[in-house]
Amino acid sequence: MCDVLSVRLTRYKVPILRIVHTGAYLEASLEGDGARQSVKRPFAFTLTPQEAEDIRWYLEEYPIYPVDPSPKIAKRIEKRMGEVGRELFRLVLGGSDVWESVRWNLGDTRIEVETELGDALVPWELMRDPVSDLPLALSVPSFVRCHSRPALRPDPPGQTAGKIRILLVIWVLRPPTFLSNSRSDCALRRRMGSPAREWAQSALRDFQACENADQEVVNTLKLLEQIESGLQATPPPA
C-alpha cells in the first residue's frame, strides 16, 4: 500500500493527489497543507485487448525498430493514447474542485494511484490534462501505483547510519534477434547502444568519485557498460 510512504511525505508538506479505485467507484483526494479535498464518482473504464496490445507494441517494440511501416502505425496509436488519456482525466478529475486546487501546484505534487488487481491494464499513466495536453505523469515529480490489497504489508527499515544501499534497475534497449549485418542494421545497433552506454559511463565516473561508493553498485555499472559496448561489437560490412 502507499500509506506508509505517504505519511512520511506528508510530514514534509508534499501535496499528494491520491486516486483510489475500489469496485464501481473512484475517489480522488488532495492532501497537503490545507484541508483535505476529495471527490467520489462512479468509474468504469476498459481497454480492448487490441488497444492494450497496441500500447504494449508502441512502448516496447517500436523504439527498438522504428522503420517503415512502423511510424505510420505509431501515429495511429499515439492518437488513440491521447484519446484514452483525456477520457481517463474526464472520468477521474474533470470539472472537480480537487483538480482546480492541484493544477496550480502540479509540479510539486506526488500522484498515487491505489487500485485492485483488476485495474492492472488501466493505463493511468496516460491520464492527460486536456488544456495543456500533457500526461500528468510527465508533469509531476512522482507518479506511483500501488495495490490496495497487498499480500505483504510494507515494512520499511528505520533510519540507520552508514552506507546507502541502492537497487539499480535499468531498462536497456537491445537489438532484436532478427537484425542482420547490413549497414542499416549495424547503424541501428550503434544508435541503440550509444545513449545507455554513455549514461553508464557517466554514472560510473560519478560513483567512482564518491569516497564511500558501494562496490556492488560500481561493479553493476561496469557490467552494464560492457553489455552496451557489446552492441557495437559487430563491425559493418566492407
Same domain, 180 and 143: no
Average pLDDT, the chain: 76
Using pLDDT thresholds of 50, 70 and 90, give the confidence band for residue 8: very low
DSSP per-residue codes, the chain? --HHHHHHHHHTT--EEEEEEETTEEEEEEESSS--EEEEEE------HHHHHHHHHHHHTTTT---TTHHHHHHHHHHHHHHHHHHHHHHHTTT-HHHHHHGGGGGG-EEEEEE-GGGTT--GGG-EETTTTEEGGGTSSEEEEEESS-SS--------SSPPP-----------TT--SSHHHHHHHHHHHHHHHHHHHHHHHHHHHSTT--HHHHHHHHHHHHHHHGGG-SPPP-
Question: Which pLDDT score is estimated for 26?
Answer: 94
Residue 180 within a domain = yes
Same domain, 8 and 55: yes
Same domain, 189 and 74: no
Using pLDDT thresholds of 50, 70 and 90, give the confidence band for residue 64: confident
pTM of the model: 0.63
Same domain, 177 and 203: yes
Percentage of the chain exceeding pLDDT 70: 58
Is residue 146's pLDDT more than 70? yes
Residue 138 within a domain = yes
Using pLDDT thresholds of 50, 70 and 90, give the confidence band for residue 23: confident
Which of 196 and 159 is assigned the larger pLDDT?
159
| Section 225-238 average pLDDT | 50
**84: domain range?**
3-147
